[in-house]
Amino acid sequence: MNIPDIIIAIDGYSSTGKSSFAKVIAKEFSFLYLDSGALYRGVTLFAIENGLIDDDCTIDVPELEKALETLDVHFGEGGTYIADRCVEQDIRSLAVADKVSPIATVAQVRNYVDRKLREFGSRRRVVMDGRDIGTTVFPDAELKIFMTADTQIRAVRRADEMRAKGMEADIEDVKKNLLERDYIDSHREVSPLSKAADAVELDNTHMTMEDQMVWLRNLISERFGC
């Protein structure tokens, strides 16, 4: 299938399979895949390691804002980097997951990440997943998908994913974290998680990856006549 040079924005709740879906899309259509959550996770890891967020999630906002001026979180070979250190494994820990949503409420952090993401937008043929890609980062994206799935299924999927990477994962802890993040992400003041008016909803609770790809190919051929 030959599809035009577009931006595909995938938003939705935590662990609805956005990044797995986006990676398969990128492979099938030779698009660049960008995981916006990884940048928020990178900033969070930096904040934890530098004492800018404490155990009860109080953030030293002035110091964090100052640090952002020189902080270099970026995508590189094998995933996400802070300067020349690959942090792909570290940013997936529950310790980071616990603190990333509070960090992502800070307006300066959002500006920092948005700036980095928009640098990729000019080239099109990009699929990006997150919480506010279709509403804030790329409101002009030609295709917007909003993903949902049953909470228990999401917790099981995320726990399996963590275990596959050699991490410990208790389903109840994972579920609690997902629900807390969903709440904070959808209630924050700046760019809350919400479905863009022109996004198409995909509930993948009972869908395999191939089901989702069939759904997408149909959508693309209806929308772009290809």
> Contact letters (x/-) for ligand DC, 149-188, by CB under 6 A?
--------------------------------x---x---
Count of residues that bind ligand DC according to CB under 6 A = 14
Query: Does residue 112 belong to the site contacting ligand DC (CB under 6 A)?
Result: no
> Contact letters (x/-) for ligand DC, 71-90, by CB under 6 A?
--------------------
Query: Does residue 131 belong to the site contacting ligand DC (CB under 6 A)?
Result: yes
Backbone phi, psi, residue 66, to 5°: -65, -45
Query: Does residue 114 belong to the site contacting ligand DC (CB under 6 A)?
Result: no
Query: Does residue 37 belong to the site contacting ligand DC (CB under 6 A)?
Result: yes
Out of 13, 31, 33, 40, which residue is the one contacting ligand DC (CB under 6 A)? 40
Query: Does residue 41 belong to the site contacting ligand DC (CB under 6 A)?
Result: yes
* Positions that interact with ligand DC (CB under 6 A): 14, 36-37, 40-41, 100-101, 104, 130-133, 181, 185
